[in-house]
Amino acid sequence: MGKALEGIVVLDLTQYEAGPSCTEMLAWLGADVIKIEPPGGEPGRRALSERADLDAWFFLLLNANKKSVTLDLKTERGRAIFERMVGRADVVAENFGPGAIERLGFGYDALRRINPRVIAASVKGFGATGPYAAYKSFEWIAQAMGGVMSLTGMPDGPPLRTEAGLGDTGAGLHCAIGILAALVQRQQTGEGQRVEVAQQDSVLNLVRIHLREHYVTGTPVPRRGNRSVAAGPSNLYRCRPFGPNDYVFVHCATLEMWRTLTRILGRPELGDDPRLADRQKRAEHAPEIDPLIEAWTEKRTKHEAMEALAGVGIPCGAVLDSGEVLSDPSLVARGMVVTLEHPTRGPFAMPANPVQLSASPTTVTRAPLLGEHNAEVYGGWLGLPTDELRALEKDRVI
């Protein structure tokens, strides 16, 4: 059986993280994703790179399974080639700054005139409408404006960003969902449509469950660090040998879990204490409970503590650093971390597709070199003759 999105052609104009994370998911699911870059490469190829002569790890992590072609859309011939590509494509995805795709002449109305079946997908900071439509955005702006930053940090400290890409990859995955829905609807209508995702909207969607407290109190939800207001014990606890990441997170959601934990701690009488009978009461007594748990965890490594607690049904997870994540036996066994061979970077481990489909398992291929597929796409798929390709290359159109 083929891949889930086999036969779907995506023209990928995206850059940095928010857009590439969307198109990478489509590529993992089997779409033929053609990454269209300016002759110098999209900015993400050099983002945060420690070597100017090599594609950045940033780029490699976000552009697996894609093809790369170069094309200067600011030239007349480049735009003419792109129009031909749009006529044969299913999806065009971009995350340029506000108004940029329209200035190039390829806003949704223009794309629709070229190909009424095309799905035009855009990721913007604040969408195409509303008072912030002209504002630019990046990950941290989206976190601030989407509500998560106000929830993150210690009670007596300032708001904090989280390193998880909620604004970028979060928006990208929301956009992928929209594209998939539009593809399904096109089967019924024969028509494409516009898919728009705003980073601010995506972050709000990811934190919406925390609004429940605002509805109750009518006041802004406060920061609480690692503690939960609705369950207890629920916190981070220090472990041996007391390095910066030697911690486990324990979350007791039920009375049964709490009673099991009290037996492990050697304090079974606390399991029957009426003051601690429900999760919210235990959360209120966290200052008394947490030292008892940490006295136990501090005698063990984080992996020993996790094995002991998770093994008896208490939700518990060790805090894994970046190296531990890339070698975690569960992630490796499930194929979530795979080792790829890159022609300039050599072998490296990278996270793979988190979506598992039984009938079309994902295979991960390395990110492409700049313009690696020019001949295949322009010569094979688009049918341009060899002499025309040479002329386009000589004139820096491709």
Residue 55 annotated among the catalytic residues of the structure: no
Q: List residues bridging with 4 in a β-sheet.
A: none
> Do 51 and 129 sit in the same domain of this protein?
yes
69 and 152 fall within a common domain: yes
Residue 137 CA neighbour count, 13 Å, CB half: 33
202 and 118 in a common domain: yes
Give the end of a domain, one of 292, 318, 344: 318
Calculate mean pLDDT across residues 48-76.
95
- The answer as to whether 242 is a domain residue is no
Q: What pLDDT shows up at residue 1? A: 67
- Taking the model in full, what pTM does it have? 0.94
Rounded to an integer, what distance in angstroms lies between the CA atom of residue 176 and that of residue 369? 24
Q: Angle between the 302-310 and 286-297 helix axes, to the nearest 10 degrees?
A: 110
**Co-location of 371 and 341 in the same domain:** yes
Does the residue 272 lie in any domain? yes
Per DSSP, the three-state class of 223 is coil
Question: Are 17 and 11 spatial neighbours (Cβ–Cβ below 8 Å)?
Answer: no
Is the same domain home to 192 and 254? no
Assess whether 123 and 59 both reside in one domain: yes
For the chain, the domain total comes to 2
Last residue of a domain, one of 283, 318, 353: 318
In a domain, 219, yes or no: no
CA-nearest of 380, 237, 206, 398 to 309 is 237
Whether 201 is covered by a domain: the verdict is yes
Check residue 368 and report its DSSP letter.
P
pLDDT in tens, 315-332: 999 999 999 999 999 999
Task: Give me the domain span that covers residue 185.
Answer: 9-206+336-394
Give domain status of residue 1, yes or no: no
Q: Rounded to an integer, what distance in angstroms lies between the CA atom of residue 270 and that of residue 268?
A: 5
Instruction: Report the DSSP beta bridge partners of residue 68.
Output: 35
Q: Per-residue pLDDT for 12 more than 80?
A: yes
Which CATH number belongs to the domain containing residue 144 in this structure? 3.40.50.10540
Q: Does residue 285 surpass a pLDDT of 70?
A: yes
| Pair 310, 349 in one domain | no
Q: How confident is the model at residue 2 (pLDDT cuts 50, 70, 90)?
A: confident
Same domain? For 87 and 182 the reply is yes
Q: Write phi, then psi, for 164 (nearest 5 degrees).
A: -65, 140
pLDDT at 80 (0 to 100): 97
Q: For the domain that residue 259 is a member of, what is the CATH number?
A: 3.30.1540.10
- Calpha distance 392→204 (Å, rounded): 45
Angle at the Cα of 324 (from 321 to 329), degrees rounded to 5? Answer: 145
At residue 99 the predicted structure's pLDDT band, cuts being 50, 70 and 90, is: very high
Give residue-wise pLDDT tens across range 161-202: 999 999 999 999 999 999 999 999 999 999 999 999 999 999
pLDDT tens per residue across span 357-374: 999 998 999 999 999 999
248 touches 305 (CB < 8 A) = yes
Catalytic site residue from 168, 201, 246, 290: 168
Q: What type of residue sits at position 263?
A: R
Over the stretch 227-261, which tens digit does the pLDDT of each residue have? 988 888 999 999 999 999 999 999 999 999 999 99
> CB burial class (10 A; 0-12, 13-18, 19+) of residue 45?
buried
